[in-house]
Structure 1
Amino acid sequence: MIDPSRVGRVFPLLALMASCLAATIQPANAQATRTWVSGVGNDANPCSRTAPCKTFAGAISKTAAGGEINALDPGGYGAVTITKSITIDGGSGQVASVLAAGTNGIIINAGANDVVTLRNIQINGANGTPTPGLNGIRFLAGSSLVVDNVRIFGFSQSGIDINLNTASAVRVMVTDTVVSTSATGIFAKNAGSGRVTVSAQRVSLLRNSTVGFKADSTTGSAQLLCAISDSMVAGNAIGVHAAGGAAGGTLIQVTRSSVVNNVNTGILTDGSAAARALLSNTLVSGNDTGVASAGGGQLFTYKNNSVNGNVTADGAFSTPLTPE
Structure 2
Amino acid sequence: MRRIALSLIVLGAMLAMYPQAACASNARSWVASYGSNGNPCTRTQPCATFDVAITNTFGGGEINCIDQGEFSPGPIISITKPITIDCEGVQGRIGAISISGVSISVGPTETVVLRGLDISGFTGGDFGIAYYAGAALHVEKCIIHDFNSSGSSFGWGILVAPSTDNAVLKVYVSDTSLINNGTTSSGGGLLVQPNAVVNTITKVVLNRVEVRNNFFGIKADGTVANTSGGVINMTVRDSVSAGNTANGIVGTSSGNGPAIVMMVDRSASSHNGGYGVIAFGPLTTIRIGNMSIAGNATGAGTLSGGSVQSFKTNQIKGNSVDGTPLPGIGLD
Amino acid at match of 1:147: V
**Alpha-carbon spacing, 1:266–1:52, altered in 2? closer, same or farther (3 Å):** same
Q: Does 1:282 align with 2:288?
A: no
Report the 3-state secondary structure (helix = DSSP H, G, I; strand = E; otherwise coil) of the residue aligned with 2:193: strand
Q: Is the 8 A contact 1:234 1:261 kept in 2?
A: yes
Relative to the length of structure 2, the TM-score reads: 0.85
% identical aligned pairs: 32
Question: How far apart are the structure 2 equivalents of 1:62 and 1:158?
Answer: 30
**Alpha-carbon spacing, 1:119–1:47, altered in 2? closer, same or farther (3 Å):** same
Question: How far apart are the structure 2 equivalents of 1:163 and 1:276?
Answer: 20
Name the structure 2 match of 1:185. 189
Which of 134, 139, 152 is matched with 2:144 structurally? 152
Name the structure 2 match of 1:222. 230
Name the structure 2 match of 1:89. 86
Name the structure 2 match of 1:267. 277
Report the 3-state secondary structure (helix = DSSP H, G, I; strand = E; otherwise coil) of the residue aligned with 1:136: strand
TM-superposition CA deviations, 1:250-302 (whole Å, max 9, x none): 01111001111111111011122x11111000000000100111110101000
Question: What is the CA-CA distance between 1:224 and the residue it aligns to?
Answer: 0.4
Question: What is the CA-CA distance between 1:63 and the residue it aligns to?
Answer: 0.2
Q: Does 1:62 align with 2:56?
A: yes
Which of 116, 134, 145 is matched with 1:142 structurally? 134
Q: Is the 8 A contact 2:24 2:55 kept in 1?
A: no
Larger Rg: 1
Question: What is the CA-CA distance between 1:102 and the residue it aligns to?
Answer: 1.4
Question: How far apart are the structure 1 equivalents of 2:34 and 2:121?
Answer: 23
Q: Is the 8 A contact 2:88 2:141 kept in 1?
A: no
TM-superposition CA deviations, 1:143-195 (whole Å, max 9, x none): 10000000000002110000112312110000000001001101002233121
Runs of 4+ aligned structure 1 residues displaced above 4 Å come to none
Q: What is the aligned-residue RMSD (CA, Å)? A: 1.3
Question: How far apart are the structure 1 equivalents of 2:198 and 2:163?
Answer: 5
**Alpha-carbon spacing, 1:28–1:319, altered in 2? closer, same or farther (3 Å):** closer
Name the structure 1 match of 2:45. 51
Mark the runs of 5 or more structure 1 residues left unpaired by the alignment.
1-26
Question: What is the CA-CA distance between 1:221 and the residue it aligns to?
Answer: 1.5
> How many positions carry a matched residue from both structures?
290
**Alpha-carbon spacing, 1:114–1:276, altered in 2? closer, same or farther (3 Å):** same
Name the structure 1 match of 2:31. 37
Question: How far apart are the structure 2 equivalents of 1:32 and 1:140?
Answer: 26
Q: Does 1:77 align with 2:71?
A: yes
Question: How far apart are the structure 1 equivalents of 2:137 and 2:259?
Answer: 21
Which of 163, 166, 169 is matched with 1:165 structurally? 163
Question: What is the CA-CA distance between 1:220 and the residue it aligns to?
Answer: 2.6
